Amino acid sequence: MSEQKYKRIFGIVLDSVGTGEAPDAANYGDEGSDTLGHVGEAYKGKLEIPNLQKLGLVNLRDKEIMGVAAVEQPLGYYGKMKEISAGKDSMDGHWEMMGLPVMKPLSTFPNGFPDSIVKQLEDFSGRKVIGNRPESGTKIIAELGEQQMQTGDLIVYTSGDSVLQIAAHEDIIPLEELYRICEFARSIVNGPEYTVGRVIARPYVGPDKDHFVRTANRHDFTLKPTGKTDLDYLVENGVHTVGIGKINDIFSGQGIEEGYHNESNMDGMDHLDHVMAEDFTGFCFMNLVDFDAMYGHRRNPIGFGQALMDFDQRLAKVLANLKDDDLLLITADHGNDPGFKGSDHTREMVPLLAYSPSMTESGSLGLRSTFADFGQTVLANFNVAGNDEGQSFLADLK
């Protein structure tokens, strides 16, 4: 490995923190979506995210966030990225960031899963499938959880994304069994007939429908990357890779040398502090999923804003700990506008923030034409050749 501009790159994905409708939002029924904008409106000027603001989070937008203005001189570089993948799920977004856009739409099930899939799940598990439609995960356990506690049936559901989700009360269907069923489900939806992005285990606990809570034992069984990702190219070239949070699941562990599971966003920030204290040459890629799972899909803009403020507070420490030869990149994988109809992800552009204490200038990185620019920049930094997807902005960082 030859000389690199930055020794360590920390990439943070604020899961679902979109910044306005993408140019192709109409194809997804998502015109008018703007996750950050609508969170700001819900706060009526009281959203406080000074660190993201200093980095240029508002400068990159066409519109202000209510109560949060653009700054005169951001600390570093700021821009937006749009997605070229067919889907707007986490897998598509993260794979595209790592140079592997998903150009062919994956299977979705607006009318529930076909009999063939249901029958195989029932035969394998010895349990009856209930639910079997697109639904919000918290709504479906409120509706069917008590029935599951009595019968041991499997709650199977989907969403607008290519996902097969199985909700199970931890006292009724033990975790190991749920994971086994999910692994089986994974094995029957890898194509060619049905190709599903993610099978997701959705365990929950609680005595009754008014008190069910989903646990951090959620596990995503993602399709294996269909080719090499930038993470693989990095590892092959001796660059150390670390995954924090859902990253490991999203890439099925492929190209991740050191992995950490997050219990929450704040737990993720603890892991990041820990990794930042290590001496290494490489790329640390982190996903913070609470924005999405706890607030975006729940259409809860107040909770979403609070999660942003909590993140922002912890960001102060990260900024203070960055070394001159560190680069921080912050972005998102899709939108999930809590002020929008439905409960699905929204096709939005995502923020792109780049900062290193060694920067002497600042400025706009513009609208990037694919999320792959993110990974291409990481590769360029470490002088690693990948599959040429995306354009590096490394040379713009001064």
Ligand X SMILES: O=P(O)(O)O[C@H]1O[C@H](CO)[C@@H](O)[C@H]1O
Query: Cβ-closest residue to Mn ion?
Result: 90
| Nearer residue to ligand X within complex by CB, 127 or 297 | 297
For Mn ion, give the closer residue by CB, 268 or 282: 268
Q: How far is CA 59 from CA 34, 51, 133, in A?
A: 15, 13, 41
Which residues carry a binding-site annotation?
Answer: 15, 292, 297, 333-334, 345
Stretch 237-296 residues interacting with Mn ion (CB under 5 A):
292
What does the alpha-carbon distance between residue 197 and residue 329 come to, in Å, rounded to a whole number? Answer: 26
Please identify which residue in 21, 30, 292, 312 interacts with ligand X, judged by CB under 6 A.
292
List the strands of the sheet with 77-81, edge to edge.
258-260, 240-244, 282-288, 8-14, 326-331, 350-355, 77-81, 363-368
Annotated binding site for Mn(2+): 15, 292, 297, 333-334, 345
76 or 160, CB closer to Mn ion?
160
Asked if 333 is part of the footprint of Mn ion (rule: CB under 5 A), the reply reads yes
Least CB distance from residue 218 to Mn ion, whole Å? Answer: 11
Which lies closer to Mn ion via its Cβ, residue 14 or residue 235? Answer: 14
Q: Which is nearer to ligand X, 51 or 162 (CB)?
A: 162
Nearest-approach distance from CB 107 to ligand X, in angstroms: 13
Instruction: List the one residue out of 163, 166, 17, 2 whose CA is nearest residue 81.
Output: 17
Q: Is 159 in the site for ligand X (CB under 6 A)?
A: yes
Residue 165 contact, options ligand X, Mn ion, none, Cβ 5-8 Å cut-off depending on partner type: ligand X
DSSP code string of 189-248: SBSSS-B-SEEEEEEEE-SSTTS-EE-TT-EEEEPPPSS--HHHHHHHTT-EEEEETTHH
Does residue 163 bind ligand X (CB under 6 A)? yes
Residues 167, 205: contact at Cβ < 8 Å? no
Stretch that binds ligand X, among 30-38, 77-85, 113-121, 157-165 (CB under 6 A): 157-165
Pairing between β-strand 213-214 and β-strand 240-244 as defined by DSSP bridges:
unpaired
- From residue 88 to residue 127, what is the string marking binding to Mn ion with x (rule CB under 5 A)? --x-------------------------------------
Whole-number minimum distance, CB 375 to ligand X, in Å? 21
Q: Which of residues 196-225 bind ligand X (CB under 6 A)?
A: 202
318 lies in the binding site for ligand X (CB under 6 A): no
Residue labelled with tokens 């040398």: 257
Distance CA 198, CA 252 (A): 11
Does residue 165 belong to the site contacting ligand X (CB under 6 A)?
yes
Give the residue with the Cβ less far from ligand X, 42 or 163.
163
Residue 50, strand partner residues: none
CB of 332 to ligand X, least distance (A): 13
- Interface with Mn ion includes 220 (CB under 5 A)? no
Before 192, cis peptide (omega within 30)? yes
Cβ proximity to ligand X: between 47 and 166 the closer is 166
Could you tell me how many residues of this chain bind ligand X (CB under 6 A)?
12
Q: Could you tell me the smallest distance in angstroms from the CB atom of residue 108 to Mn ion?
A: 14
How far apart, in whole angstroms, are the C-alpha atoms of residue 349 and residue 364?
Answer: 15
Rule CB under 6 A: choose which of 32, 67, 136, 369 binds ligand X: 136
Measured between alpha carbons, how far is residue 169 from residues 122, 173, 246 in Å?
17, 6, 22
Torsion sign over Cα 91, 87, 93, 132: negative
Tokens of 289: 């999923």
- Cα 68 to Cα 42: distance, rounded to the nearest angstrom: 13
Q: Does 132 participate in binding ligand X (rule CB under 6 A)? A: no
CB of 290 to Mn ion, least distance (A): 11
Distance CA 183, CA 284 (A): 27
Q: Which does 268 bind (CB under 5 to 8 A by kind): Mn ion, ligand X, none?
A: none
Residue count (the chain): 398
Contacting positions for Mn ion (CB under 5 A): 15, 90, 292, 333
Contacting positions for ligand X (CB under 6 A): 90, 136-137, 159, 161, 163, 165, 202, 292-293, 297, 343
